[in-house]
Amino acid sequence: MTLAGAAVQRVGILGGAFDPPHLAHLALARVAVAQLQLDQLRIIPTGQAWHKPRTLTPAQHRLAMAQLAFAEVPQAMVDARETCRSGPSYTIDTLRELRAEVAGAQLFLIIGADQAQALTSWHGCQEILQSATICVADRPHSTGARTVFDAESAFPQRFFHLQMPAMALSATDIRSAVSTHQNVTALVGESVARYIAAHHLYSIP
């Protein structure tokens, strides 16, 4: 895929629960902006996640934490659209809306390797592949080999692999750490850590 020379606006979409957002999310945002030469990066917290069995932290907190977490990335803007929808959040609906709102823009959907592996099961997968370039955050592999996903095998021209540093951070582990009163500033950054503490998020009642 050629990245240079395009005159159209380049818009990245980074979705997720962001429950909470952490420093690996921030690193991914920076890598995506640099490697994809993005004009804009939409940070889109999930609304009602069809694939997550647990109840997410209320949207207003996840939106506020995302604002804090990505404040250092000038191209990033937190987009609340999925949290405002009723019913399950589907990526294809977001892509359709953005195509209509940002006419002529080139869309880049930024996902992790685990999401790329499951992409063929996503609602509207074929249309997703037609609507956006799928940008996968590769995890470093000891052999140097790169994973090729089922959807990529069928549509290799629709995929781009982002080169990411190894960062073993998990929102699940962070929530667990907070619940046992551990300091998570090194994992989420000072502003997000302060917000979690101020609003008593992830504490066991």
The length of the chain, given as a count of residues:
205
Q: Higher pLDDT residue, 87 or 171?
A: 171
**pLDDT at position 51, please?**
60
Cα–Cα distance measured from residue 8 to residue 107, given in angstroms and rounded to the nearest whole number: 10
- Going from the N-terminus, what domains does the chain have, and what CATH number goes with each? 10-169 (3.40.50.620)
Cα–Cα distance measured from residue 68 to residue 176, given in angstroms and rounded to the nearest whole number: 21
pLDDT, averaged across the chain: 89
**pLDDT at position 139, please?**
65
Q: Assign 3-class secondary structure to the chain.
A: CCCCCCCCCEEEEEEECCCCCCHHHHHHHHHHHHHHCCCEEEEEECCEECCCCCCCCCHHHHHHHHHHHCCCCCCEEECCHHHHCCCEECHHHHHHHHHHHCCCCEEEEEEEHHHHHCHHHCCCHHHHHHHCEEEEEECCCCCCCCCCCHHHHHCHHHEEEEECCCCCCCHHHHHHHHHCCCCCHHHHCHHHHHHHHHCCCCCCC
pLDDT band at 143 (very low <50, low <70, confident <90, very high): very low
